[in-house]
Each structure stands twice: as C-alpha cells, then as structure tokens.
Structure 1
Amino acid sequence: MSDTIALHLDGAATTSDSPAPDEAAWGASTWFAVLSMAAASFALVSAEFLPAGLLTPMARDLGVSQGVAGQVVTATASVGAVTALFSNVLIGRLNRKTVLVGLSALAIGSNILAALATDFWWLLLGRAGLGIALSGFWALSVAVVARVAGVNSIGRGMAIVTLGVSLATIAAPALGALISDWLGWRVAMAMTAGLAALAMLLQALSLPSLPATTSNSLSDVLRLTRRRGIQLGMLAILLLMTGHFAGSVYVRPFLEQVALLPTVPIALALLGFGIAAVVGNVAGGRLADANIRMALVTTSALMGLAAFALVLAGAHVAVAFIFVTLWGFAFGMAPVVLPTNLSRAAPDALEATGSLMVVSFQVAITIGAVVGGYAVDTYGAIAPLTLTAILAASTVVLALLQRRS
C-alpha cells in the first residue's frame, strides 16, 4: 500500500511506541504481541463454544430444558451483534491496549458469574458479558494487528489470531464435555475464566501502548457503508458465512442420513474438518496478503465445491470424508480472508470497519442458523448443503466483481 494509506491507518505505525514492522521484519516483540491476541481469541471463543459440551448437565442443574439452556449461545451472539455497532464509539480515545486488557477482564468476570450462577437468568447475564467482550475484541482486532505487525501483514497476523478460533472450535466442546463429566460443568466454565486471565496477562506484558488516533462516532461507522468496497466486503461475509452456518450445523445429520455413517466415523470426519481448518487458516493468511481477490475466490470456490460434491455424491463414504475435510480447509481460510478483504476497502478507518465486520458475521450466523434449520426440517438433510453451495458460488461471482489488488 502507499505511504499515504499507511499514515492514515487507524493508529499508523508512527503513533505507537515503535514502528510497525513489515512482514519480513517481524521480531520477538511483534510475535509476542500477535500471539497474545491469538491467546485472547482462543480464550474468548472457547468460552463461546463451551456450552455445546455442557448442555445436558447445565440444563439439569438449573432446572430448565435443553432447548432453553441452548439460548445461552443465542444470548452471546445477539448481545455481540448489537454491541459491535457501538463498541468503537463507546471506547472513545482510550488507549487500545487498555481496552483489550479490560475486555479480557470482562471475560474473566463473565465466566466466573456463569460458573457460579444459581439460576438461568444469572447464567444469561454472564453470557451477555462474554458477548460484549467478544464483539469488542473482534471489532478492534484488524486495526490492532495492522499497528503491531504492519499494514502489509494483516493477512498473516489475522491468520495467527484466528488460529485461536480454529483450535477453540475443535477443543472447547469436546474438552468441556469431558471436564463436565469428571468435575462438573461449573468447573469447566470456571476454567475458561482461567484462560481469559492468562490471555489478559499476555496482553498486558506483550502489547505495546496503542494510543487512540481517532474517536469514532456511529455516523462515522455507518458512513463507511456508502463505499462500494465496504458494501461488497460486507455482502461477501453475509453470503459465505450464511451459507457456511446454514450447512455446517447439519453436517452430522447429513453424514448419518445420507452417508449412513455410525458415530465413530462421523467423529473422525468432523476431526478432519477441524484439522483442515487449522491448515486453511495458515494458507488463508499467506494468500490474503499476496492477492486478496484471489484469496476470496479460492475460499468461496473451495467451500462451494465441497458442498456441491457432498450433495451429488456424499452417499459414498470416501467422497464424504474428502469433501468434509475440504470444507474445513475453506472454512479455516474464511475468518482470515473475509476481514482482510473488508479492511482493504477502508484502510483509513480500520476500527470502524471492524465494527461492521463483527455485525456482518453475527447477522450471517443468525440467518444461517434459522434458514438452515428451516431447510433441514422442510426438505431434508441435503437441502442445507445445497444452500451452502449456492451461496458460496454467489460469493465467487461477487469476488470477481471486486477490483484487483
């Protein structure tokens, strides 16, 4: 990018304690700073996905149905979607390091409150606090990575940060279930507070001071939506992530009903999905920095191909395993490629762009879950994956409409 763009970046290199390094010049301090962000993402997302492994004992202990207990996930996502629009407005001109450390502290308190909850409403309150911490962290993530790692290393930096997401997605539900069986669901919930405390310590020690260089207003955030690049970037998130969450939630029913797989092979297929997502995460960071347009085309094309192949030939076990794994690889690329793509449309307003990014993701998750649920109930297990293929193909077309970079 040009020097002009670099100087207009939210917190350009010259405003922090030390110059933001280019990719080739990453030193120990840069690595520690980025890894502290990855630790925070792992802690936050582990807490977000933990209820998937705790639902039965949690519902039984609090005296509610499993369907009601499942709303703790809805509470986190819905509060996060609303908070994302206002997070960068409310923090004003606070030092961004202070904000990130404070968000980790909020996650600690929220997880402790959830672990000690004596009724369902206290649990919901704790989960709402986690939603605020999650949305605030992700809204700032791209801008902070750009400041500590360099403008030209956003893809690489975000790949490391979102690696925490991939690992948490794999580990949190399974480990949560095991720990809850051994020690109880409250202990499992409390352990996420410990992860957040470790992340907070790492951020306090590793992040440089990040003085605010701008104070966003809601009108500033909304004004960005007039830019064609922002519109296309948000639409890409909505299309691809709506498609992903519409289909991925129902991969297990598909493998059970279409591929006729028993429990153990299904678990192995989902493990392959998770491992491939980690690999895709790294690949996505490299490709995003090299050619963001091609990265978006590749990500959406691979996801569409995987879903389409499963719809056509998923009854064959080998096909099911191969293309569930390919889907995982594409999904691993998406959390890196989509935010990087959106940030390229507004390098002068990365914090405000981060808010729009979080809102887009949360809306996509909500729509995907609702539409996917309707599709599987109405048309069967193949329908959600068909929707995934269609929306991923639409994202390929959208990516081709974007300017080359």
Structure 2
Amino acid sequence: MTTVESGAPSATGRSSVRGWLAVLAVTLGIFSLMTSELLPVGLLTPIGAELDVSEGTAALMVTVPGLVAAVSAPLVTVATGRVDRRVILVALIGLMGAANLASALAPGFAVVLVARFLIGVSVGGFWSIAGGIALRLVPARHVGRATAVIFGGVETASVLGVPTGTFLGDLDGWRTAFTAVGVLGLLSLTCMLFLMPRLPAEQTVTFSALPAVLRGNAGVRAGIALTFLVVTGHFLAYTFVRPVLQGGGVGAGSISVLLLVFGAAGVCGNFIAGALVTRYLRQNVLGIAVILTAAMAALAVAGTGALSAGAVLVLWGLGYGAVPVTLQSWILDAAPNATEAASSLYVSAFNLSIALGALVGGLTVDGLGTTSVLWTGAALTALAWPVVRRARRTAT
C-alpha cells in the first residue's frame, strides 16, 4: 500500500506507562479476535451435533471468517484512512463481541455463519491497523518490544485461546464458550476506550503499491508462498484435531487437556523462534516445515491413547508456535522499505490460508475420512522445503 504522511503527532513525549497500558489493551483485543476466529476448532463436534450439520460443514465457521478477514484487511485500512484509529479499533472489537453473543444465542447454523462473517470483518480490519500502531503508543526505543507484544496476542490466541474455549465448551456447552469470548471482546472494548489515546489518522492508504511489492520482490513472493503452504497445511489438519483424536480412541474429557499441552508447547516454540529468528531466519522456516510435516505424519500413524497423541501434539505445538513470529519476520526482512504493503499482503495470506485449510479439510474429511487430513496437511507443509531452499539460493 502507498502511504502519504499527514504530519500527525507521533508518540514522542508520551508517558511510557500509559503507552504500555494502551499496548496491553490492543493486545487483549487482538487476542480476543483471534481466539474468536479459531474458537470452533475445538468445538466442531458438539456444535455440529446440536445444529444438525456434519463436521465438514461445521468447519465453515472457520472458513468464512478467514476468507472475509483476508479481504477486509486491505479494504478496512483503505476505507477508514482518515478516521481516528482508536475509533476504528473500538468499533471492530465491539462488532466481534456482539457477533459472538449472537452466535451463543443462534437458533440455527445460518445465524452462526452470519455472525462468523462479521467476525471476519473485525479480524482483518483490526489486525491490519493494530500491526503498526505501537509506533504511536510508546517511545521509539520501545516500539520493537511493543510490536512483539501486540503480535504475541495472535500467537497466544492460536495456542491457548482454542484449548481454553474447548475446556469451557466441554464444561458447560459450546454456547458458554462463545458467550465468554463475546464478553472478553466487550472487556477489550472498555480497556481501549479508557487506556488508548486519540489517534487521528496519519496516513492516506491506497492499493497501488501491493502489486508492485509482489512483482518486484522475490523475498515477499516467497514469504507469501510459505504462508499459504505452512498455514494452510496446519489448519487443514488442526481444524479437525478433535475428531481425529476421538477417532483414535482419546476420550472427550482428555481432548481439552491435550490442546492445553499443545498450547503450552506453542508458547515455548514462540519464544524459541523469537530468540533465533534474527540470526537464523531461513533455518527457522525450514525447521518449522520439517517439524509440522513430521508431527502430522506421526499423529496419523501413532497408536491410540492420550499419551502417544500428547507427545505428538507437543512436537506439533513447538512447530506451529514458531510460525507467526517467523513468517512475519520473513516478510519484514524481505521488504524493509515497504513494510505496510508487505504486512497487508501477509495478513490477507495468513487469514486466507486459515480459510482454505478449513475448507479443504472439510471436503477431505467428508470424502476420505478424518485421518486423511493429517496426510494432506503434511504434504502441503513438506512443499515448503523447496521454497525455503530456493529462496536461500536466490537471496542476495
């Protein structure tokens, strides 16, 4: 995206404490949004059973917001180019909270899908704006850490939000889980209203730079390709991890515990990758592809039981936990002078990949059975290997 500065004030001179409180409010918001987007992953079976749809059809709850977020990321940024950023973020998080509460009260699957559409609008717009907002909230020396904290909300939602939601759903029904995320969204709205300063628009954003970045930057093209392969492969299988585990003999009561194990491993993977990514970026990406491929294949052939499944999920969680920070770093490293345009493409690619993974996984489950999603996901992540190696050879 092309940007034109308007000369609005930056965070220079802003209180560090107040700025960090605003950063934490934004982080809570993005955690709420990403948890909302991925919440159905651990609840497909009970939602499908109550609303009388197959697990493959129920996966549309992941596909729809992913597709909508992929489109809304650039559209919301362009459409709201002159509006106060706090107003936009508060409106988007409020929309998400209301949509989740509507899902909790939905009488049928069609209403749930409408609510999931609105959540997609919120996710894409919020993420694309919040990704660069740290510059305006904290002093320059803290921008790097603040940005990492904000993007940590994406990672934490991916690896902890889903198992927590699954636990609540198993404890008191899936509608309770949706209600909890809706309330969390409204709490995020309150925090942003009271903790964030006014943020008048600084930039007028257009689409003109997007095709130029793709055409002229081989590193960005490789990063987008890696995002599609790795994230699509992961969500193709992970969206159906609950029916896969149940089909392998794992009891319903153990699944939320196993997903918490996955989440804990993911947090570890995030910190490990964060420590290594600056010096070993390509090695990180290659390692992720190898680990995810091995984990999905191992779960497909592992014996039944919680112990063997738990060991594989630790490996899987370590690999996926490293994905957001590593791929984001790849994109920024490839386009240091066009970070907003490249990041917009990355947000769209990431969310589109979530949607494609859930969609293809649903078709695969309905046509070939649950275990087939593990082999298909592993095949996609394995295709990332030659992309990384070719990028290494062509890098300058």
TM-score scaled by length of structure 2: 0.80
Aligned to 1:167: 160
| Structure 1 residues 324 and 55, CA gap change in structure 2 (3 angstroms) | closer
Match of 1:122 in 2: 111
Q: Gapped runs of 5+ residues in structure 2?
A: none
Q: RMSD in angstroms over aligned alpha carbons?
A: 3.8
1:343 Cα deviation after fit: 2.8
From 216, 233, 239, give the equivalent of 1:243.
233
Call closer, same or farther: CA 1:60–1:389 in 2, change over 3 Å. closer
Alignment deviations for residues 20-63 of structure 1 (CA, whole Å, 9 cap, x no partner): 89xxxxx4334323322221122112322333455566556656
Q: Identify the residue that residue 178 of structure 1 maps to in structure 2.
A: 171
Tell me, yes or no, if structure 1 residue 308 matches structure 2 residue 300: no
1:131 pairs with 2:125: no
187-196 or 49-58: bigger deviation: 49-58
CA deviation profile, 1:229-267 (whole Å, cap 9, x unmatched): 32222122112212322343455676677xx66437766
SS in 2 for 1:215: strand
Say whether residues 1:112 and 2:101 are aligned partners. yes
Distance 1:387 1:19 in 2: 51
1:329 & 1:10 partners in 2: Cα distance?
40
1:276-355 aligned at under 5 Å gives the runs 276-288=265-277, 290-291=278-279, 294-308=280-294, 311=297, 315=302, 321-355=310-344
Contact 1:76 1:131 in 2 (8 A): yes
Contact 2:232 2:377 in 1 (8 A): no
TM-aligned CA distance change 1:142 to 1:386, over 3 Å: same
Unaligned residue ranges in structure 1 (runs of 5+): 1-7, 22-26
Superposed, 1:214-225 pairs within 5 Å as 214-225=203-214
Q: Deviations over 1:102-127 (max 9, x none)?
A: 21122123223333444444333222
In 1, the alpha carbon distance for the partners of 2:173 and 2:377 equals 32
Pairing 1:38–2:27 present: yes
Q: State the distance in 2 between where 1:157 and 1:277 align.
A: 16
Structure 2 equivalent of residue 98 of structure 1: 87
Partner SS, residue 205 of structure 2: coil
Residue identity matched to 1:240: V
My pick for the range that moved more, 246-255 or 90-99, is 246-255
In the superposition, relative to structure 1, how do residues 210 and 282 fare at CA in structure 2: closer, same or farther (>3 Å)?
farther
Letter aligned with residue 232 of structure 1? A
Kept in 2: contact 1:88–1:216 (CA 8 A):
yes
Q: CA deviation at 1:98?
A: 2.0
Q: Are the counterparts in 2 of residues 78 and 362 from structure 1 also a CA contact under 8 Å?
A: yes
Matched residues in 2 for 1:279 and 1:330: separation? 10
Number of residue-to-residue matches in the alignment: 383
On the 8 A contact 1:93/1:214 being kept in 2, the answer is: yes
Residue 394 of structure 1 aligns with which residue?
Answer: 386
**Secondary structure in 2 aligned to 1:244?**
helix
Aligned to 1:361: 350
Q: 1:107·1:133 contact (CA, 8 Å) conserved in 2?
A: yes
Tell whether the 8 Å contact from 2:30 to 2:154 is kept in structure 1 after alignment.
Answer: yes
Q: Alignment identity in percent?
A: 30
Tell me the TM-score normalized by structure 1.
0.78
